[in-house]
Structure 1
């Protein structure tokens, strides 16, 4: 198993086949509160995020077409931006001519990733543009701890794009941290916890109901009912929902139980918390346990054998996560791109009005899903099949 990540030198990112006057991205430093050097197993000097901005050298007026051409050019060269994501975990793009959901959609799609279909969504995400939706719309007072996207279901995106359309005056920062570094720290301090997670995995039990269970939450129909039409009887509705759940392709490791009086369904997954990064095979702690420890909601997570996870482990997991994170202070137009396999994100509360912070999200699949850590048959996740 590999034990390190190969560093990719970054001075200026440019598509080599383009003329010297083509747009390039140049790295720049952020204040220490917004950027830090990652710990092991990342190479020394690796920062999170890698901050990039378009260079005006040789380009009189930068427009979105210039930016998209630059992104596509870099991705045509051994997927340079994808490689940078695998190294840094998060990229920040600042100073881009992105002003709305459609601009953001064009930029995100330029990377060449496949749009991710969320199966079993637990939050409400109305479509704003192709593959663009609001980020979490929970009330501004709600703290959303650092987490990987969709660890409570078998089918998670590999890449997350966040666009800051409107930034609050105070608060509302987005955390970023490394899941690779988190695993290393937890392994050093709590080896018995890592051993338990390796042996047992996790039971993720999610309750979906006919009505949303909390502000910003989804309904059962939004989660699994995309093929339901008016006039379907109870048996047909349930059959269509069960067919969507079966798309996870997890066999005995995903089960469900209908609630009485057609009120909803409880879906249970046995999942790996520890997964591995494609290429390096380094273990990554792919989890949202910090959220479920600090904010109980519709998801219960236990060890894979059904026993509770000791509170002392969860408490220290939250503390370590906060020790290794940085908080991104949004500027209007910023775009953050996360490699969801190895980087965590979240949301800080903010002052003012709910509408003072507007962040949009776009989710994509990669060429590979995380690998298994261990030999158990439940330890490997797959992308859901089409349906």
Structure 2
């Protein structure tokens, strides 16, 4: 059977002896790319856990071999999923992944359920099964640390990124532990955590018929997957509202129609708990709400706003210190072509750094999946409960 060690991975085939599939070895990255996590993680735990295939005989590595090894490991109680729950992120380097189709096959080998995206705020045109561009916004834009889809109720549990084309300068992907972030913020600004726990947040997201920014989504891309040629305005509106109701949160998700669009307001928990451990995790993108971040987007229309759950503004001093802590505990992944990063989105945040050169110099693809469980509620309030999207 395959095991996650620095020795050979092995899997049993029916009617045959145990055959070696693939050997992975753990390796170290520069300190700017990898760090030892603080509490509540176990001593010596790194982010990311870096893995690469060991191929001593020099034979060409086949993607099918990689896929069968991943499937074998996952069949043994979800070995890789457990590693994700410990480290928050895995880096696979040196794989025979060369395009969107290869990436799709690799990501699907983990056995997770592809996520049906509702209310996407960035344009995600499909490039291969469950594969889309990670983000097509301007290369000059910094994307602050966040958990994927923190601004809407239905967030993926697992996020895969593939470096198809990498910038020569810049374009790193930051990563940090949401568990460690919660612990640090609770220690340093406990009143902030107390208010988040008591009130949650109000997330207001605006969707317009026309795209609002480079890489952003339109109303049709966000909620119009069921549109058909010939639908009139009333039919389209009904189909959009049916998609919104799939969030499954009743009165805690409301909407208001505007000229040329709709504004959704979600009351959401910014603190959730990790399935299996019940450790609190700061599940948020509030670092994008600091004064500096707001100034960066002043030249374009911002599509989202986050307040305390009672509608009051979150003090700037809280947001500024939150971002400082997130930056203190993050590492920057310097991409090599073909790298695949896998995030446990419940306990790990990511972002994006600007890069030099042309927009097309950096192409990162993403694949999003649901897990078996959603992150748990930190308290018993009805608004703090999150669920998977309802079947359409």
In the superposition, the TM-score normalised over structure 2's length comes to 0.94
Structure 2: gaps spanning 5 or more residues: none
Instruction: For residue 22 of structure 1, give the secondary structure of its aligned residue in structure 2.
Output: strand
Residue 386 (structure 1) shift:
1.2
Instruction: For residue 129 of structure 1, give the secondary structure of its aligned residue in structure 2.
Output: coil
Matches for 1:152-301 after TM superposition, within 5 Å:
152-260=151-259, 263-293=260-290, 294-295=293-294, 296=297, 297-301=302-306
Instruction: For residue 361 of structure 1, give the secondary structure of its aligned residue in structure 2.
Output: strand
For these two proteins, the number of residue pairs brought into alignment is: 378
Question: 2 CA distance for matches of 1:13 and 1:63?
Answer: 16
1:38 aligns with 2:40: no
Other-structure match for 1:325 = 330
Residues 90 and 337 of structure 1 are in contact (CA less than 8 Å); yes or no, is this contact kept in structure 2? yes
Residue 17 (structure 1) shift:
3.5
Question: 2 CA distance for matches of 1:200 and 1:353?
Answer: 43
Residues 160 and 337 of structure 1 are in contact (CA less than 8 Å); yes or no, is this contact kept in structure 2? yes
Residues 8 and 22 of structure 2 are in contact (CA less than 8 Å); yes or no, is this contact kept in structure 1? no
Instruction: For residue 21 of structure 2, give the secondary structure of its aligned residue in structure 1.
Output: coil
Question: 2 CA distance for matches of 1:226 and 1:328?
Answer: 34
In the superposition, the TM-score normalised over structure 1's length comes to 0.95
Question: 1 CA distance for matches of 2:89 and 2:243?
Answer: 32
Residue 20 (structure 1) shift:
5.3
1:305 aligns with 2:304: no
Question: 1 CA distance for matches of 2:230 and 2:84?
Answer: 47
Residue 13 (structure 1) shift:
6.9
Question: 1 CA distance for matches of 2:4 and 2:10?
Answer: 15
Question: 1 CA distance for matches of 2:252 and 2:32?
Answer: 42
Question: 2 CA distance for matches of 1:218 and 1:58?
Answer: 48
- Pair 12,160 (structure 1): closer, same or farther in 2 beyond 3 Å: farther
The Cα offsets for residues 353-372 of structure 1, whole Å up to 9 and x where unpaired, read as 11111100000000000000
1:347 aligns with 2:352: yes
